[in-house]
Amino acid sequence: MKIGNFKFNKNSEVFIIAELSANHNGSIDTAIETIRAAKRAGANCIKLQTYTADTMTIECDKEDFIIKGTIWEGANLHKLYQEAYTPWEWHKQLFEVADEEGLVCFSSPFDKTAVDYLEVLNVPAYKIASFEITDIPLIEYVASKGKPVILSTGIATIEDIELALDACHRMGNHDIALLKCTSSYPAPIEEANMCMVKDLAERFNVISGLSDHTLGATVPVVATCFGAKIIEKHFILDRSIGGPDASFSMNEQEFTEMVKAVREAESAIGVVDYKLTEKQEKGKDFSRSLYIVEDIKAGEIITEKNVRSIRPGFGMHPKYYQKILGKKVTSDLEKGDAVKWDYIN
């Protein structure tokens, strides 16, 4: 799978997405500076969301349309999306700024008109948000465009995931990634279930990763250790500017630290290799080996009293200890001499 110039394989580094979401707070200048800050922070990609309040829901004050049990408690759906959306007329300029910064840029569409609009902008990939993973017609339409499809699984049962994958496959699209996501804002760290990252990849034979709403960098680092190839985090210039997503978004310093931690985790994972590095070989100098610990005259017998396994490691390997006990030495040896085969009879 390839998104922009980024090629995914088992050895590729983690593709780190900075999610702009509503963190422009209604200002295109803020959106532009956020993109530039994401580049400084080490992101590979900036992601937008393409919808309007009317493509997301309807204007209605009935109880069903009032949010309950989240940080947006009591808000009306239509009014929240009206506040949070990224104006479509900004998209072209934001894509151009991302390109200037060397960032991949794509978006989450929420209906067919958004897909059509993004196709005009020639997006390199699509993201299906967690709450849209059950919208099979939308997934089919997105997949039909032949671009990589990234699916968040925040509210998905295994059946939902299978239905979404089947929808992509029906359209002949097999460039798919699944992101483990906990759809709480912010998400409790104890509900992260990062072992799912590995299971998603193995069970469904796809690239897997993390769309994260926890606070801090711990969960992205753990995801990396479980094989995540994509990590997405909400990104904001400064939480003090406010906005619907500010409370669970990382600022530039935090995002920079997360990227550093993820890259260090990648380095730490390494590869399966039992060969010793030059430094590890040098470390053998401090290992155990067989040494003379009491002076011995030529012809005397090696005993547990005059030979021991001690540090450093320049003497005979300790595996020969039992083999040399009871043998005679052929020359005078002093305390501190390394045991060698040359003077054992």
> What pLDDT is attached to residue 202?
97
Pairing of strands 2-3, 45-50: unpaired
Q: What is the pLDDT of residues 237-261, one digit of tens each?
A: 999 998 888 989 999 999 999 999 9
Q: Say which residues have a Cβ less than 8 Å from residue 255's Cβ, sequence separation at least 6.
A: 18, 38, 41, 42, 43, 233, 235
DSSP 8-state code for residue 277: P
**Residue 53: count of CB within 10 angstroms of its CB:** 18
Alpha-carbon dihedral 51, 56, 60, 61, rounded to 10 degrees: -90
Residue range 71-95: mean pLDDT, rounded? 94
Asked which of 50-59, 169-178, 184-193, 318-327 is least confident by mean pLDDT, the reply is 184-193
What gap in Å lies between CA 339 and CA 309, rounded to an integer? 10
Give the confidence band of 70 by pLDDT, cuts at 50, 70, 90: confident
Q: Looking at 45-49, 52-56, 135-139, 269-273, which range is the least confident one? A: 269-273
- Residue 180 and residue 158: Cα distance in Å, rounded? 12
Query: Is pLDDT at 105 greater than 90 in this prediction?
Result: yes
The tokens of 137 are what?
């017609």
User: Quick one: pLDDT band at residue 276, thresholds 50, 70, 90?
Assistant: confident
Alpha helical stretches, state H, 23-135: 28-41, 53-56, 77-84, 88-100, 112-120
Q: What's the burial of 319, exposed, middle or buried (CB within 10 Å: 0-12/13-18/19+)? A: exposed
Task: Check residue 71 and give its pLDDT.
Answer: 84
What's the start-to-end Cα distance of the chain, in Å? 66
pLDDT tens profile 195-207: 999 999 999 999 9
Domains in the chain, please, with CATH?
Answer: 12-269 (3.20.20.70), 278-343 (3.90.1210.10)
Cβ atoms of 128 and 154 within 8 Å: the answer is no
5-9 — which CB contacts under 8 Å span 24+ positions? 5/104, 6/44, 6/45, 6/104, 8/177, 8/207, 8/229
Query: Range with the lowest mean pLDDT among 77-81, 178-182, 275-279?
Result: 275-279
pTM: 0.88
Q: Is the pLDDT of residue 279 over 90?
A: no
pLDDT on residue 110 = 97
